[in-house]
Structure 1
Amino acid sequence: MTDIAFRSAEASDAEAIARLHVAVWRRTYRDLAPADAFATLDEPYRLKRWQEKLAHPQPDQLVLLAESVGRLVGIGAAGAPSEEAFDSRGEIKFLYVDGEFKRQGIGRRLLKRLALHLSAHRYPGAALSVVEGNHAAAAFYEALGARVIGRHVDAGPIWRSQNIIMAWDGFDELIQ
């Protein structure tokens, strides 16, 4: 396994985050998202959003980076819930790993750190949304003990995706 370093994101990381976000998002959603989403949700669009997110953090926000020899290979973010259906659980907002680095435990390690963060902020558990049809992500979270607790439509900036809501009622399975 490659040595991976984890650290909190800084404003100067926005460009690298946007680049990785777009690359992983496009690979993941190539058969799920409409063409106009691909045309609009490009690096300049994501860069602006990440710059805003890092400059103006939301309540309890943590953005984590995973790096290998100075190269960004993973992104994770967590914070206060954005959906009522998440109830009082903290939200895992983003979890993206570079395709070249999948199956090396990076996603699991990012998720563990995000869970520790949410636990420290006294959330009773964690929840996240998975686009319907993203079977690999759903299977990953299920393998880590998540269960489906509902569905919602993500209004998104361009694409109103159908999502399943997955949750953990505690953190034991995530922080092992």
Structure 2
Amino acid sequence: MSTVDFRTAVAADATRIADLHADSWRRHYRGAYSDAFLDGDVAADRRDVWAGRLAAPAGTRTLVAERDGRLVGFVHLVIGDDPVWGSLVDNLHVVHDQHRNGIGTGLLSRVAAAAGDAMYLWVLRQNTAAQRFYRAAGARCVETGTVSPPGGDPSRLNGTPEKLRMAWPDAASLARLSAD
């Protein structure tokens, strides 16, 4: 299998990132996000978000992973987002057929280098595979919250679609993984 190349995202990557983001949400957020949202034009929604993020990246870092020119993953970091929990990993997604190939770990460890002291993210309670991945990467669950729009649907999951805050109090230890 060919190697994966990691680089900083540019504005021209917005559509490919949005398409992967929409596909990942459709696969993993069903049951927490409304079907109308997921079955509608979630890709157009994500394209608007990513066009804006990549046009004005101040205070953020977005990395993409490519294999043979194909986008196979991305991560977006909001630097210094929270005074307690540090930088927010706002999104981390890997193409479905590329899971368990080290791409997520590569993205996470590389973005951790820009995170500062601490880093965190939110993951849906129903996404147990992602939780296992984050725990294996050294994160710990520190609190729960409620899923909010654009797709959060309070009538789902017994009226309480939940998300978990997973945190790395020492992002530098995670950043060292990319050097290995």
Normalization by structure 1: what TM-score?
0.87
**Aligned residue type for 1:148:** C
For 1:89 and 1:130, how far apart are their aligned partners in 2? 16
- Matched positions, count: 169
Mean Cα deviation higher: 35-44 or 90-99: 35-44
**Aligned residue type for 1:26:** R
| Residue 173 (structure 1) shift | 3.9
| Residue 109 (structure 1) shift | 0.3
Asked if structure 1 preserves the Cα contact closer than 8 Å seen for 2:93 and 2:104, the reply is yes
Which residue number corresponds to residue 107 of structure 1? 104
The Cα offsets for residues 101-142 of structure 1, whole Å up to 9 and x where unpaired, read as 111100000000110111xxxx32111001111100101001
For 1:10 and 1:144, how far apart are their aligned partners in 2? 27
| Residue 158 (structure 1) shift | 3.2
The reply to whether residue 151 of structure 1 matches residue 152 of structure 2 is: no
Which residue number corresponds to residue 57 of structure 2? 57
Asked if structure 2 preserves the Cα contact closer than 8 Å seen for 1:5 and 1:66, the reply is yes
Sort the Cα spacing of 1:68 and 1:46 in 2 relative to 1 into closer, same or farther, 3 A. same
Partner residue of 1:87 out of 67, 84, 107: 84
For residues 68-87 of structure 1, what are the structure 2 equivalents within 5 Å?
68-80=67-79, 82=81, 87=84
Which residue number corresponds to residue 124 of structure 1? 117
Aligned residues with identical type, % of pairs? 32
Sort the Cα spacing of 1:153 and 1:15 in 2 relative to 1 into closer, same or farther, 3 A. same
The answer for unaligned runs of 5 or more in structure 2 is 154-160
Asked if structure 2 preserves the Cα contact closer than 8 Å seen for 1:88 and 1:124, the reply is no
Q: CA RMSD in A?
A: 1.9
Which residue number corresponds to residue 134 of structure 1? 127
Mean Cα deviation higher: 149-158 or 3-12: 149-158
**Aligned residue type for 2:28:** T
For 2:144 and 2:168, how far apart are their aligned partners in 1? 15
| Residue 150 (structure 1) shift | 0.7
Sort the Cα spacing of 1:28 and 1:72 in 2 relative to 1 into closer, same or farther, 3 A. same
Asked if structure 1 preserves the Cα contact closer than 8 Å seen for 2:122 and 2:166, the reply is yes
